[in-house]
Amino acid sequence: MKLKISMYFILILPFFQSLAQEKQPNIIVFMVDDMGWLDTSLPFGDRVMALNRKYCTPNMERLAKEGMKFTDAYATPVCTPSRISMLTGLNAAHHRVTNWTSIIKDTPTDQPDSIFNRVDWNINGFSPVADIPHTVYATPLPQLLKDAGYFTVHVGKAHWGSQGTPGANPLNVGFMVNVAGNAIGHPQSYLGKENYGNVPGKFTYNAVQGLAEYYGTDTFLTEALTQEALKSIDQPAKAHQPFYLYLSHYAVHDPIQGDERFVQKYLDRGLEPREAKYASLIEGMDKSLGDVMDYLEENNLAENTVILFMSDNGGLSLDYARGGKSHTQNLPLKAGKGSVYEGGVREPMIVKWPHVVKEGSISNQPVIIEDFFPSILEMAGVNNPQLIQEIDGKSFVPLLKEEKYLYKDRFLVWHNPNKWTHEDGPGINFFSAIRQGKWKLVYDYRKEKLELYNLENDLGEHIDLASKEKKVTKKLAGALGEQLRKWEALMPTYKNTGKAVVWPDEIRVN
Amino acid sequence: MKLKISMYFILILPFFQSLAQEKQPNIIVFMVDDMGWLDTSLPFGDRVMALNRKYCTPNMERLAKEGMKFTDAYATPVCTPSRISMLTGLNAAHHRVTNWTSIIKDTPTDQPDSIFNRVDWNINGFSPVADIPHTVYATPLPQLLKDAGYFTVHVGKAHWGSQGTPGANPLNVGFMVNVAGNAIGHPQSYLGKENYGNVPGKFTYNAVQGLAEYYGTDTFLTEALTQEALKSIDQPAKAHQPFYLYLSHYAVHDPIQGDERFVQKYLDRGLEPREAKYASLIEGMDKSLGDVMDYLEENNLAENTVILFMSDNGGLSLDYARGGKSHTQNLPLKAGKGSVYEGGVREPMIVKWPHVVKEGSISNQPVIIEDFFPSILEMAGVNNPQLIQEIDGKSFVPLLKEEKYLYKDRFLVWHNPNKWTHEDGPGINFFSAIRQGKWKLVYDYRKEKLELYNLENDLGEHIDLASKEKKVTKKLAGALGEQLRKWEALMPTYKNTGKAVVWPDEIRVN
């Protein structure tokens, strides 16, 4: 009997495996931190732009050749809101983590403001457990993938919840393996020689944990995380178990430290030291992408693995850390990280899915970070999952298949009722925005003022058409107001009156 | 066709699962750090002794009722050697990691000595990669279990290799999941309120990583590790994949900090504060064992799970950390951690294996830490594995099955050619020992002198019979010399002459 069953097993198992593989591709989310739309030699615009010539990302080019490039992909202006949107399928206005979360529990990260009160946002981030104060409670994506049979691996930056809360631990959101992820939002150091910050007398909470193997070595953080990621998927790959790898690089968030493997090239090109270092962080990240792609090819996994490349917000454009004048680092896009203008939210996104996505294809359809949630579930064959939350994201799988896009009239919404930086900048601190098709409306809460841009011929958002295109302005203001009300979005309130700012559709359009 | 296959799958899968489960039990090694043979209310001796009355370990009693208690189980005198013996199946004299490894690479931990040179031991510990200086290169146990289909989980203390070497990372020794393990040998703090040591300005390398979820909470380290361990095996358990859990507590190593859940009871009993804290560390560890057993029962896993309870060396008996006079903490056993006398090496060991091990059974056969390697492989059904090393351990599975013991005449060897503490103590610094049956021979390198004890009626090693039982002494000295030569064991050399101490069988027995 035993032998007979074993024989059945041998005969039938490959069928199941191939079926299972067909149904459940491996999925890799290759997430970059603070990477702008133009921080790559791969042009996401309609032409090669000046900044594209500054950076070297041959592996992003390679990935785009093998998959689909999204020219109009969006995240939120800062990291935690984006990351929680991907985790939950919720828009930031809805999950109410509208700013980055502090490492320290119960600590708002908002800068003080003389005009507005601080809104009561979910300062502790995401929680997979109910009733944790100041958190959004929802069903996280990796949990659903794990339940569907995926081997789920987290490597790198998590930043979903503060220390002392369940959301600080990737193992609580459905990951089976966690390397180096917790409550921190950036590394204290990228350098193995500096133990990634784990040095007595110099330690801060941003020291990256879990990498003692590399202490004192020349291993740059990006490289260490890549090696750990490939280590972690080796076993499920061998066992033909589908895996979900969330490889979430700390790069290219500041501190802008040079990756010695690449930095000299950029100095030789005449880049100022800070920008040469930044470019080396970018290229180190790109090398990681290439290593992942090589690994997949060498292990015959490439054909059954989806790779999704994404960043969590626009490139940093503040001159405390970046070279050049503030807000020139994402040109022709306006502003950078923290802003609702394109420089703060438009992202380099690529999806490779062999046999599904046409090689070298391009989609100009707008998509947004919360769309990853239903898209990845659809890729994994998880239908009608039981969820705590009602999601806002829409699957972009139909786009990948170049089917008729179902969400043509869809509104994309950004909501940032917080003071992110000490000094206001373009689109930074107390802004909302909405996009439909080519039109983008920006709501400036300080001025209680609307701006309208036509992205089709004004990508840089220079020409405010709010007065000229009153009908469009009213339509978008109405849609934004309706959506924010529906989500019961947090609105800034005035310190002197205690009253909230007016809804966007309450502003008179002249 | 698809439906038909799916139906086969549904019908046949449970058969395979039950077969697989029968062949591959889940295996949990519940490892305690620095726990002595008497640090428990479960008597491992032939009667309840005074120290057994000091401690409360109801779950160890419960485990022993459900499995087999080993009265004569041994480890090495200090932790890293034991841990590497379990990992590799090698005796410490053979793997040459004869002392604890420093967190910092290339750093011997030996105290300076005026008489002897430092031996050239493997100061960087174990390495799964060849040609790493000062390491022992061997095939590690978890790798073999992973290759055999086990889901392998490491939680807690690893301490196999120094920072900056591959052995510092449990993912490199065959674990698929790692929580909190790296190069450190003890925690900076057991307290969640102190972030287990991760506090700017107070950080040392002994801060425990990977537990940000619990920072600032009342969660004692032992509790946090238990929760992480159960989290980590939940998915393989649900998926009917056999798991290997190495739950390696930092407890009860110093710093001796009180576990607030238990400490008051011991203070009320009149224990001095240090000893009350120590007893609370013990009871917290025992609670963890109970939680693991409860989890297995609640999830219908208990029947197919082996639990092996073990400690890595004897209880600490130095009065800088423990209450009372030095070397009284393991009475009636002589000395404690660091010593080749029974107090330093005899361990509380229990094995539960439902349907294999008779409930409430006792084995008096001597076993030693390297025996875990072949025993666990045998339990997992891994036969004739390809190994880099030639192992020294013998499987104790025949003992568990109460079959005729095949290793009756076996010699157990301890070899400690190092200076562990600044001040010599009984059996501490520069000693070897060998046991066969009731006889134990101790070789004191400082004095180039042999001692012989009859453990059957002199457990405390008080009466040196070396002169009286010359034949036995010569036999054991010969066996020890032969074995140490075979392993090319490191022998202390004199500073003044450069010559090595004499082999034990070269000493004249008067």
Helices A221-238 and A273-298: crossing angle in degrees, nearest 10, is 10
Cβ(A367)–Cβ(A396) below 8 Å: yes
Contact B213 A169 (CB under 8 A): yes
Q: What does the pLDDT average to over A94-102?
A: 98
Nearest to A365 by CA among A412, A306, A333, A408: A408
Identify whether B252 is preceded by a cis peptide bond (ω within 30 of 0).
yes
Mean pLDDT of chain B: 95
Nearest to A163 by CA among A119, A76, A104, A227: A104
What is the 3 state secondary structure string of A341-410? CHHHHEEEEEEECCCCCCCCEEECCCEEHHHHHHHHHHHCCCCCCCCCCCCCCCCCHHHHCCCCCCCCCC
Cβ(B117)–Cβ(B493) below 8 Å: yes
Strand order in the sheet with A431-436: A412-416, A431-436, A439-444, A449-454
Nearest to A40 by CA among A360, A289, A375: A289
Contact A205 B198 (CB under 8 A): yes
Residues 6 or more apart whose CB falls under 8 angstroms from that of B88 comprise: B95, B126, B136, B138, B139, B140, B141, B370, B373, B389, B391
Cβ(B288)–Cβ(B222) below 8 Å: yes
Q: 């090819």: which residue's tokens?
A: A297
Q: What is the pLDDT of residue A15?
A: 40
Give CA angle at B374 (B370, B379), nearest 5°: 130
Q: Distance from A260 to chain B by nearest Cα, in Å?
A: 19
Q: What does the pLDDT average to over B119-144?
A: 98
- Among B2, B163, B212, the residue with its CB nearest the CB of A216 is B163
* Range with the poorest average pLDDT among A400-409, A425-434, B135-144: A400-409
For chains A and B, CB pairs below 8 A equal 117
B416's enclosing H/E stretch is: strand B412-416
Residue A19, pLDDT above cutoff 90: no
Nearest to A360 by CA among A69, A72, A29: A69
> What residues of A are in contact with residue B189 (Cβ under 8 Å)?
none
Confidence of residue A7 (pLDDT cuts 50, 70, 90): very low
Residues 6 or more apart whose CB falls under 8 angstroms from that of A323 comprise: A271, A272, A273, A274, A275, A278
Closest chain B CA to residue A158? B212
Torsion angle in degrees (nearest 10) through CA of A493, A497, A502, A508: -150
Q: What does the pLDDT average to over A159-183?
A: 98
Does B148 touch chain A if contact means CB atoms closer than 8 Å? Answer: no
B16 burial (CB, 10 Å; 0-12 / 13-18 / 19+) is middle
More confident call, B4 vs A341: A341
- Residues A34, A35, A39, A43: is their CA dihedral positive or negative? negative
Q: What is the pLDDT of residue B408?
A: 74
Confidence of residue B19 (pLDDT cuts 50, 70, 90): very low
Give CA angle at A100 (A94, A105), nearest 5°: 100
Q: What does the pLDDT average to over A86-96?
A: 98
Closest chain B CA to residue A170? B213
The domain segmentation of chain B, as residue ranges, is: 24-400, 412-506
**What is the rounded distance in angstroms from the CA atom of residue B87 to the CA atom of residue A91?**
48
Beta partners for residue A425, in sequence order: A428
Confidence of residue B402 (pLDDT cuts 50, 70, 90): confident
Contact B163 A9 (CB under 8 A): no
Residue A344, pLDDT above cutoff 70: yes
Q: What does the pLDDT average to over B240-267?
A: 98
Strands of B4-113, DSSP E? 26-32, 68-74
Does B183 touch chain A if contact means CB atoms closer than 8 Å? Answer: yes
Q: What is the pLDDT of residue A426?
A: 98
**What is the rounded distance in angstroms from the CA atom of residue A284 to the CA atom of residue A290?**
10
Q: What is the pLDDT of residues A237-273, one digit of tens each?
A: 999 999 999 999 999 999 999 999 999 999 999 999 9
Helices B58-66 and B273-298: crossing angle in degrees, nearest 10, is 40
**What is the rounded distance in angstroms from the CA atom of residue A472 to the CA atom of residue A439?**
8
Q: What is the pLDDT of residues B94-117, one digit of tens each?
A: 999 999 999 999 999 999 999 999
**Interface predicted TM-score (ipTM):** 0.93
Does B174 touch chain A if contact means CB atoms closer than 8 Å? Answer: no
Q: What is the pLDDT of residue B406?
A: 65
Confidence of residue B5 (pLDDT cuts 50, 70, 90): very low
Q: What is the pLDDT of residue A12?
A: 41
A29's enclosing H/E stretch is: strand A26-32
Q: What is the pLDDT of residues A174-190, one digit of tens each?
A: 999 999 999 999 999 99
> What residues of A are in contact with residue B213 (Cβ under 8 Å)?
163-166, 168-169, 172, 182
> How many residues appear in chain A?
510
Q: What is the pLDDT of residue A17?
A: 40
Give the 3-state secondary structure of residue B347. Answer: strand
Does A169 touch chain B if contact means CB atoms closer than 8 Å? Answer: yes
Q: What is the pLDDT of residue B20?
A: 44
- Overall fold of domain B24-400: Alkaline Phosphatase, subunit A (3.40.720)
Confidence of residue A304 (pLDDT cuts 50, 70, 90): very high
Cβ(A311)–Cβ(A34) below 8 Å: yes
Residue A22, pLDDT above cutoff 90: no
Confidence of residue B407 (pLDDT cuts 50, 70, 90): confident
Q: For B412-506, CATH number? A: 3.30.1120.10
Beta partners for residue B125, in sequence order: B161
Q: What is the pLDDT of residue A403?
A: 72
Q: What is the pLDDT of residues A119-160, one digit of tens each?
A: 999 999 999 999 999 999 999 999 999 999 999 999 999 999
Which A-chain residues 195-214 have CB contacts (< 8 A) with chain B? 195, 198, 200-201, 203-205, 207, 209-214
Q: What does the pLDDT average to over A403-429?
A: 91
**What is the rounded distance in angstroms from the CA atom of residue A243 to the CA atom of residue A226?**
16
Does B24 touch chain A if contact means CB atoms closer than 8 Å? Answer: no
